[in-house]
Structure 1
Amino acid sequence: MSGTWINLIFDITICLSLLIGAFFLISGSIGILRFPDVYTRLHAATKSSTLGVSGIMIGAFLFHYVEHDIVSGKLLLGIAFVLLTAPVSGHMISRAAYRAGVPLWENSVKDEYADVLKEEQKRQARDS
């Protein structure tokens, strides 16, 4: 009797993980289409892909563990890789876009990176 309840709980957990992952991927796709500038689009793409792909991979990991008694190291490494690299790559792409002169949306509240960039340029000019 308890085996069937445990299997039901695992099945619900797997389904929820897959649905949450799919929800984040779909909402990120909508955000990419709807947001006005490259920075907000990149934010939507980075956050949603990190959470969406991780949710789907966690669901796949749990499925393989429950159904086949396999602890997939590849899936665990994939989850860790996505969680570590997607935010860093999004940050680097947005910094490169800012340094290339891609303008912010006119309704952006604050440009905090402008002061940091000016200080860095002053320091580089002073040092050279």
Structure 2
Amino acid sequence: MIRDILTAFFVLFGSSVALTAAIGIVRFPDTLSRMHAATKPQTFGMILVLIGALIQLDGHVDSGMLVLTGLFTLITAPVIAQRVGRLVYREQRIDEHLLDESQLRARERGD
């Protein structure tokens, strides 16, 4: 009974966090903001769903696969976000009206 409640909590909370990430991807105006929404809350939501599944499986053989899935997600999501961010910055596809004055000055200096 308690295991089912914990599983439901983690799966529902993780799914709602992932839903907010999907809404952020659609609503944010530029690539860098969308990248943030695609990596941080999406990864956190997936980890919560995996924790809920691990609680439900309770020592099953497939638990190891869920742990590996979570680890690969935690390892690859920041790397992908960093690569996309560098590409966007290198291609100069940044909306300058979204930057504040200090960021614009740093960009003009080439920092």
- Regarding TM over 0.5, the answer is yes
* Percent identity between the two aligned chains: 36
Indicate the residue corresponding to 1:107 in structure 2. Answer: 98
- TM-score of the aligned structures, taking structure 1 as reference length: 0.73
Q: Which consecutive aligned stretches of 4+ in structure 1 deviate over 2 angstroms post-superposition?
A: 107-112
| Structure 1 position 48 matched with structure 2 position 38 | no
SS of the aligned residue for 1:51 comes to: helix
**8 A Cα contact 1:58 1:79, kept in partner:** no
| Structure 1 position 18 matched with structure 2 position 11 | yes
In 1: Cα distance, 2:92 partner to 2:98 partner: 17
Matches within 5 A, 1:61-76: 61-65=54-58, 69-70=59-60, 72-76=63-67
Unaligned runs of 5+ in 1: 1-7, 120-128
Instruction: Work out which structure has the larger RCO, using CA pairs closer than 8 Å and 6 or more positions apart in sequence.
Output: 2
In 1: Cα distance, 2:99 partner to 2:19 partner: 25
In 1: Cα distance, 2:82 partner to 2:93 partner: 14
In 1: Cα distance, 2:65 partner to 2:13 partner: 21
Matched pairs, number = 107
Choose 1 or 2 for highest CA Rg: 1
| Structure 1 position 86 matched with structure 2 position 59 | no
Instruction: Let me know the Cα RMSD of the aligned residues.
Output: 2.1
- TM-score of the aligned structures, taking structure 2 as reference length: 0.83
Pair 36,105 (structure 1): closer, same or farther in 2 beyond 3 Å: farther
Which letter maps to 2:110? K
